[in-house]
Each structure stands twice: as C-alpha cells, then as structure tokens.
Structure 1
Amino acid sequence: MTARVGVITFPGTLDDVDAARAVRYSGVEAVPLWHADADLHGVDAVVVPGGFSYGDYLRAGAIAAQAPVMRAVIDAAKSGMPVLGICNGFQVLCEAGLLPGALVRNAGLKFVCRDQWLRAENTTSAWTSRYESGAEILIPLKNAEGRYVAPEAVLDELEGEGRVLFRYIGSATADTTLAPANPNGAQRDIAGICSADGRIAGLMPHPEHAIDPLTGPTDDGLGFFFSVVDFLEGVKVS
C-alpha cells in the first residue's frame, strides 16, 4: 500500500503546494490537511509547511500550535508518527512543545532570502537517512524569525544526543562579508534539529523548494522526502 503523507494548510500558509509536490516527487500520496481538521485522515506522516500561519500574530507559529489539527498531530507524534516542520512549521513544532527551543528574530532584524549551504550532521533520523554524514547541500532559505535559540543545557543535550540535523555553512566560493555562513545568527549554526527518536524534525531552510533543478537551485531537498518514504516502508535507518 502506498504511504500517505499529510500536508497542513493554515490561514497564511504559502508553501503547502510546494510541500505536496515534493511529497509526490518521492512517489507517495500527498493528502491535504486543513487547520480545522480534528483528525489526520489516516496519513502515515505529516509535513507542517512554511508560510505565515495566522499572520504570525503573537509570535510566529504560536496560534497555529493551538489549531485543532495540531492537537491531532501532537497525539500522533507522541505515538511515533514522523512529522517534519519546515520554516514556519519548525516554529509551530517548537510552540507546540514537540521540539525544544525557539525561533526568534534574525540577527540584524532583517528578512533573509537566499540559497543556503547546509552540512548534514545527523543522517539516522526518519527524515535524513538518504544523506551521507557531512554532505553539503544547497537549498533556499527565507525567514525573518529563523534564529534558533535554546538554553545552553538544551543545546548541549542536542549536541550530545546527535540531534542537530543540519548546520549552516558557507560556500568555498562565497564572499562571507556579503553573505555570512550563518544567515540569521542561530546558536551553534543550527539549521535543524530532531526529537530523541529521530521521528520529529524541524528545519528553517526549505527542502521542498529544491527538488528539481528546473525550479530550484538543486534537487538536494529530495532526500528529506525519500528518507521518510524509506522509513515508512520499513527500510532500516542506519
């Protein structure tokens, strides 16, 4: 049976169509989920996509974290369902308590939009098993509140448990005076993290915008979606 991956739409979401397209590129069914849905309609995994859910009022992701569909996502995640939060989705997962830390205003208080180099740190999670450890990938980034922060004890725990998925790095050919390797001042250059069991992941850059060189800088983002398909189909994550 073909896996079914749900993609949530909140008022203000703008990357749900691209996220659903990325899911389809991985060969499985993309199932639309609405913010007011009380259940997940039998999906096997969930993507919480980027955008400006509820206009980013209060804090980015704060209202979306209280939406009916997120109650179902929280319950399913606690039961082992894979969940990926991208950009605003990462903010939502932190606000919902599914991932530690928070995303706050970028250093310099400016919106950043650019293609961003990342280095794979954890390739054993449900969402990153298709990458080689240390692999460098190029995918788009666009955020104003993308600076990952957490208490030092939490950061040490993430590092010690290998739960940092990707870090921001610079290109060997880039002028770092014009485009610093870390685009938003995230602590320890953290671009994405995961839960202790590797099933819940959050990432500020946008892998769904890098699935086809025709429409993105690379197809480096496809690994996220093929990884979760492997996981759902029982391929050993190692």
Structure 2
Amino acid sequence: MKFGVITFPGSNCDQDMVYTLESMLDQTVEKLWHKDPDLKGVDFVILPGGFSYGDYLRSGAIASFSPIMQSVIEHANKGGYVMGICNGYQMLTETNLLGGALLHNDSQKFICKNVYLKPVSKSAIITQDLNVEETYKIPIAHGEGRFFINEDGLKELQDNDQILFQYANEAGLVDDTTNPNGSIFNIAGTTNKTKNVFGMMPHPERAVDPNLGNLDGRKLFKSILDNLV
C-alpha cells in the first residue's frame, strides 16, 4: 500500500502525517504537491489539516480548485481511498466527495483540545476494528468544525452506516454537553456510501507517537491498515 500526502499552501499537518505513516506505521509515503495533478501511483490519498490558502474564503474552498484535486476526485470515483482530516475534511465537502458542510464552531472560537470519539460505523475500514463500547481520545484544532447537513442528508448517513464518529465523553455519553463545536448529531466524521472516502475533524496523527502520551490514534490507523482491500 502506497500513501500520498498532499501539501497545499497553508498545510501545517502534512509533515505530521508523513512522519506518522513512515516512522510510526512503516508505510510507504509519496509527498504530493497541490499544483501537480500526478498522484504518482498512490493507492491511498490523504488531505491533511492546516489552513489552506489561509482559509480566506471558506475553509478548504480554494484548495478544492487546486490542480491535484481533479485527480483526487477521479481517484475516489474509481474506488480509490481518500481521507481528509480537519482542513482536508473541509475540502472533501467542498468538492462534494462527502455530503454536508463544516461551519464555524457555535462558540465562534478556535478550539484546540483533546476530545473523546465514539465509533459508529461498523462497515468503514477506519472504524471496523474499533470497539463501539469504548471511546478514543483524539485532539481537535479547528475554528470551522461544526458539521451540518439537512434532515434528509442526516437520515441518509444513518441509513447507510456513513457516520464514522460522534463526539462523546470518556464514558461514551453523546449529548450537547459532549459536543465541542455544535455539530449536528455530534458528528465528528463521515464516509461516503461506498466507504472509500473518509473525513474527520479530529487529528488521529497527533495521537500515534508515544512521546505525545496518547496512542489512541494508532488504533484508527491500524484498523485502516488491517482492513484495506
């Protein structure tokens, strides 16, 4: 399996992701530049977090028009794997590879802290091996992370097992008190119907190195690696 990590102007988690995949998970990684549409034969594309183009329009909106994104869309439409984290998740909604939108946090403030995630989907490779009775501590760092989708869209996500994670507390309680940004239904990540495109606001790559004191992110990546086809 060959991973590709794209760098956009303003990306600040691209090297974190490269380090996680190469040094922590022993994977082959190709560094991709947003102006070059060549995906260089990668199997799994990752859109990392950051502030692409300074988030001067909507977060991820300008990046969605970068030359490489048409190749990413074609890769996804052919069944190739794509994962967007934080700013990358915003790009996936801007390109309509995933439904919904990421709006300003209901507090109107940037939030940077650890949160707990409760896995929901039983069919997506990123959650397939996770225990739905447990929670996983993963950092968030965003100002526009409030997931929104209309009622019909939410029902579709539920019916098709497309909700990856919900914000919860350590004990697994999911309610307004455990929702850091006002996301509808406490949604922290979603996938598409065919389960090859994944988006999430929290940063699992920041919870893989033992030096950071948290290894819960490693469990998400292990589930991906163990279930790739």
TM-score interval, smaller chain = over 0.9
Give the stretch that moved more between structures: 145-154 or 218-227: 218-227
Q: Of 166, 183, 208, which aligns to 1:211?
A: 208
Kindly report structure 1 stretches of 4+ aligned residues shifted beyond 3 Å. none
User: What's the CA shift for 1:219?
Assistant: 0.9
The aligned amino acid for 2:34 is H
User: What's the CA shift for 1:135?
Assistant: 2.7
User: What's the CA shift for 1:205?
Assistant: 0.4
Give the Cα–Cα distance (whole angstroms) in 1 for the partners of residues 107 and 131 of structure 2.
33
Q: Of 13, 18, 27, which aligns to 1:15?
A: 13
Give the Cα–Cα distance (whole angstroms) in 1 for the partners of residues 66 and 126 of structure 2.
24
Task: Give secondary structure in 2 for the equivalent of 1:188.
Answer: helix
The aligned amino acid for 2:138 is I
Aligned partner of 1:130 in structure 2 is 129
Over the matched positions of the two proteins, sequence identity in percent amounts to 42
User: What's the CA shift for 1:180?
Assistant: 3.8
Give the Cα–Cα distance (whole angstroms) in 1 for the partners of residues 133 and 94 of structure 2.
29
Give the Cα–Cα distance (whole angstroms) in 1 for the partners of residues 83 and 122 of structure 2.
15
The aligned amino acid for 1:39 is D
What is the aligned length? 227
User: What's the CA shift for 1:148?
Assistant: 0.1
Task: Give secondary structure in 2 for the equivalent of 1:37.
Answer: coil
Unaligned runs of 5+ in 2: none
Task: Give secondary structure in 2 for the equivalent of 1:211.
Answer: coil
Task: Answer yes or no: is the 8 Å Cα contact 2:120–2:166 preserved in 1.
Answer: yes
Task: Answer yes or no: is the 8 Å Cα contact 2:38–2:71 preserved in 1.
Answer: yes
Give the Cα–Cα distance (whole angstroms) in 2 for the partners of residues 228 and 36 of structure 1.
28
Task: Give secondary structure in 1 for the equivalent of 2:97.
Answer: coil
Aligned partner of 1:222 in structure 2 is 218
Q: TM-score scaled to structure 2, two decimals? A: 0.94
Give the Cα–Cα distance (whole angstroms) in 2 for the partners of residues 21 and 130 of structure 1.
23
User: What's the CA shift for 1:226?
Assistant: 2.4
The aligned amino acid for 1:93 is L
The aligned amino acid for 1:30 is V
Unaligned runs of 5+ in 1: none
Task: Answer yes or no: is the 8 Å Cα contact 1:82–1:228 preserved in 2.
Answer: no
Give the stretch that moved more between structures: 184-193 or 27-36: 27-36
**RMSD value over aligned CA atoms?**
1.9
Task: Answer yes or no: is the 8 Å Cα contact 1:147–1:184 preserved in 2.
Answer: yes
Counterparts in 2 of 1:38 and 1:224: CA distance versus 1, 3 Å: same
